[in-house]
Every structure is written in C-alpha cells, then in structure tokens.
Chain A
Amino acid sequence: MTVEQILFLLAGAVILVSAFLVVTVRKLMHAALWLVVTLFGVAVLYALLQANFLAVVQLVVYIGAIAILFIFAVMLTRKEMRDLGPQTRSNWWVAVLVGAAVLMGLVFVVLAIPGVERTAQVLPEGLDTVQALGVALVSPNAYVLPFEVASVLLLAALIGAVYLAGIIKK
C-alpha cells in the first residue's frame, strides 16, 4: 500500500464518520463542527488528487464562509441548542432502503465509467493547473458561458440581498 492510499483511506474514514455524526449528534453546535471536519476531509481528497486550487477553495469557501455562517446562525437562533425529540421516525427502514438503492446505483454507474480503475496520472513538471483552470473559465471554447451565467446569477442574488437589507432601514 502506498502512502497516498493510506492517506486516502484515512481521509475517507474521517469523512464517513464525521458525516454520520453530523446527522446523529444531539447538539446543533456539535453537528456544525462535525460538518467542518467532513468538509476538511473533502479538501484532503482534493489535495490528494493534485487539485490544489479546489482544495484551498474548499477551505476558503466551505469552512471559511459557509460553515462559519452556519455556526453563527446556530449560535444566534435558539437558547437551548439541543434537540430532545426522537431521532428516527417509524418509517426509517424505507429511508434505509432508498439510501442503499441509491448507493448501489451510484457504485454501478461509477464502475461502468471506462478507465475508472486507472491510477492517477503524474502531472508533467511545470504544468500550472491554476492557470489552465483560469484559461478554461474565460475561453469561449470551454466554459465562458456557464461561468458568466453563474456570475449573473450571483450578481442578482447580491442585488436582492442589498435590496432586502435596505427595506428595513426606511
């Protein structure tokens, strides 16, 4: 077993355990912090895939912005940040069946992709993946249209947020 495989298995185990804890722990604050651990594990997976940019963006956006806003919201919402009710419903077995079916389907689909069992390519020396990504995002032959559509959508959301925040002042 190579070092990469050991790291991959460790990161996978951390992601699975912490993701399970996100939905099972009783304290909302702990759930939010376990979510941070899950997101961190995903960043490790990106780093193992040599996707440096995605790994760091995962940290900046998901942990730096989204998870911290979650925690902020959790701290501000309820006084008793604990869920005391029952954690399962009577038809939980239906959810288990559906979840298992989806998992099987996904595994089947992924295994059907040609070349899924290949080992990761070693990137050539001097290849700047960030530059390649940047060029792809603004090149008309690649992803400029989805990129611009997404930015228009974000701009609309931003203007909407500013408008909503402005109403209360009057």
Chain B
Amino acid sequence: MTFWNDPINLIANWLNTLLTGWGVPASLATVLIYFIGITVLVVFAMVLDIGLVWVERKVVARFQDRLGPNRLGPFGLIQPIADIIKMVIKEDITPAGAEKVLYNIAPVLSATSVIMLWAILPLAANIYGVDLNVALLYIVAMGALGTLAIIIAGWASNNKYALLGAFRMVANMVAYEIPMVIVLLIPTILAGTMSVIGITEAQRNLWFVFLSPLGAVIFMISAIAELGRSPFDLNEAESEIVAGFHIEYTGMKFGWFYASELLHAFTFGGFAAILFFGGYNGFFGLEQFPAFSWLNIPFVQALVFIVKAMIGYWVIMWVKYSMPRIRIDHMLAFNWKFLVPLSLVLLVVTAILHRILVVLPTWQYALGMFAANIVIITATIEILRAHGRKQRQAEYALLKTQ
C-alpha cells in the first residue's frame, strides 16, 4: 500500500496510529477520522465550486459571443474570488414579513442537499465517501431535500413571486423525479447492483451508454429538470416572476443558492458519467493492457472522472444557454405524456432483453441492447410524427371551413 495506490486508506491508517498513540480511544479516533474526512470532502467540493463559477461564466460568454471575465488574473481566474468578497460584504437583508429562522435555514439546506450527494460520488476506485448499496435511491432522497429547501425559501420570504417560483419548482421536481427514478433502474438492471462503485466496475469494458443510449438521454433531461435549469427554469423565470424563490435573498445567502446550483449541475454531470459513461474507468477496458496500467492510479482515475463530469456539466450548460424556456403546461405534459411512458417502455424492454441476452457473448449482447434502443427511438419518433401530422391536418381542415 503506497501513497500512489491507496492514498485515502494510507492517510486514515496513519491518522489512526497517530491518534491512538496519543491515547485517544479507538472508537473516538474512528469518529474523529471520519469527521476529518468529511470536512476534507466538503472543502474540496466547495473549492471546486469556486472554480465552477469561473467555468460557467466563461462558457456562457462563449455561447453568447462575449469574452467573459478577463480582467482579474490570467483569463479572469481571480474573478470568482472577487465575487465572493463582494457577496460577503453586501448588506444582509431579511424582509420584514419573513419567517426569520426558516428564511435563514433554506440556503443552508439547499447547499446541504448537494454536498450530501458527494458522500457517494466515487472519484476513483478507492477515493469515495461511502459505498451505499442503495446509492441510486439516495440520489433521489437528496433531491427531495433540495425540493424542501426551495419550498421553505419560497414560503419564508413572504413574497408572492418567491411563492410562485416555489410552487412551480415543486411541480417540476415532483414530476421529473418519476422518469429519473425509472431511468436510474436501468443501470441497476444492467449492473445488478445499486451501488455506484458496483455500477462503475460493471462498465470496465463497455459503457452503459452503448447498451442504453435512450436511458442516458432521458437521465440527462430529467437531471436538467431536477436542477431547475433552462429550459425548465420556470422557478426563476426572470421575465415573469423576477427571480423566483430566491428573490428576497441578498449577499452570501443568495450566494449559497447560486453555488449549490452550480455544484448540483456539476454533480449531476458526474452522475451521468458514473451511470452511463464508465465513471472513473478509462475507455473500453484500456487499463487491462500493461501499456495503459497507469490508468489504474487513483489520481489518474479521479482526473478521468472529473473530465467526464465536466463534459456532462458542459452539456447541461450547452442546453441551458441555447434553449428558450418552455411553458409550465407544456413542461408537465412533456413529462407525464411522453417521458414517463417512454421510460417505462424502455425499462420493461431493457429488463426482459437483459435476462434473455446476458448468456450471449458480449458483442452480441451489446448489439441486441443497442438495436432494441434504436427500435424504441424510431417507434417513438414515428408515433410523434403521426400525431403531429394528424394535428396539423385537423388545424388545416378547421382553417378551410372558416
């Protein structure tokens, strides 16, 4: 066990011998080490979050044909630090009619719901918080905490725009949770486990995106809806309800909402990487060859994971900055009449085909699963086209009679 092969356990063991050497009881030493580990993980996530502010602003600038922050430091890298200083020294206003305690809890709860997700995020094969056997349900549970934070923020602000934003957000999150849960079952079926480590290890040779491309797309859509980002950003639609649930928040309290939204987007990029793009694994089992054994070093794995998560995050930003906001009834209809039935069909087909094809050699199995997805996608497009044509003809007939 060297530092390069297993850094976390090495440091934990070293701390354990150090603490017990000082006469600390073994159980207390374990608790202390866990506490230190959690603090380091949270600090890492928050420092990464500062970097994400810069990434987000630079990328949106490129999409909108601007330069973005470019004055402070090289490429404007110090801009987020300046932003933080600005937010911390801003006046902290609590509206007169607000519920003080709840109003102040909401931003903390919002950040908590995101940071808790980092507990199960495996950066490498042996760098992770905890290997839960119900990790995928845990993702959904933390989404529930995020919803709660938004309701509390909207209600405690005592502002009609905030409350409207909270209502919309809840309708959005409760609805899109359902396709998300159904699609999370697809990697579960393919890997035979809900643990994120197990799912990542099952993708050593073949990423799940090749077995279930449709599943990956549905996961991305419901993740964007869960994040409340455009085109599902009705909760803070600037042109209608000013800023939605966080309208009354100032300074760093607003900063918490902003920071947790960015970190949430990155985290979901990471989950897309874990569930469908092989997580910390290299490409197509490359690390099994001696020439590529350096891919098994935990720090390289962590780097691979972060790059994949950044690509997922970039796709989320790409969608955000190129799609217009959609109306709430369209959004709910899209979920209940399209995504939910589609994901249910996909789940049933995946479950049955996986059972039948899993005995075959890998390439036949993969080809079968991929072909099934293509068939479902084609059928969906054909049904949509027929439906659209019928509607257009009805409109045309109506026009002719007038």
Contacts and interface: CB of A to CB of B under 8 A. Distances in A.
Do A and B associate with each other? Answer: yes
Interface of A: 2-3, 29, 33, 36, 52-53, 56-57, 59-60, 63-65, 67-68, 71-72, 75, 128-130
Interface of B: 27, 30-31, 102, 132-134, 137-138, 140-141, 143-145, 147-148, 151-152, 155, 163, 167, 170, 174, 177, 193-194
A72 B171 CA distance: 10
A168 B301 CA distance: 56
A28 to B, nearest CB: 11
Of listed A3, A36, A64, A68, residue having the most chain B CB within 10 A: A64
A36 B27 contact: no
A64 B177 contact: yes
Contact of A33 (B102, B133, B141, B170): B102
Given A53-B137, A56-B141, A130-B134, 20 more contacts: A3-B27, A3-B30, A53-B133, A59-B144, A60-B141, A60-B144, A63-B144, A63-B145, A64-B140, A64-B141, A64-B143, A64-B144, A65-B144, A68-B170, A71-B155, A72-B151, A72-B170, A75-B167, A128-B133, A130-B194
Would you call the interface of chain A mostly helix, strand, loop, or mixed? helix
Contacts of A53: 133-134, 137
Contacts of B134: 52-53, 56, 130
12 contacts: A29-B155, A53-B133, A56-B137, A60-B141, A63-B148, A64-B177, A68-B147, A71-B151, A71-B155, A72-B170, A130-B133, A130-B134
A29 B166 CA distance: 15
Contacts of B102: 33
Contacts of A128: 133, 193
B148 A68 contact: yes
Nearest to A74: B155
A133 to B, nearest CB: 10
A56 B140 CA distance: 9
Contacts of A57: 137
A126 to B, nearest CB: 11
A169 B137 CA distance: 36
A155 B366 CA distance: 34
B143 to A, nearest CB: 7
A60 B141 CA distance: 5
Nearest to A75: B155
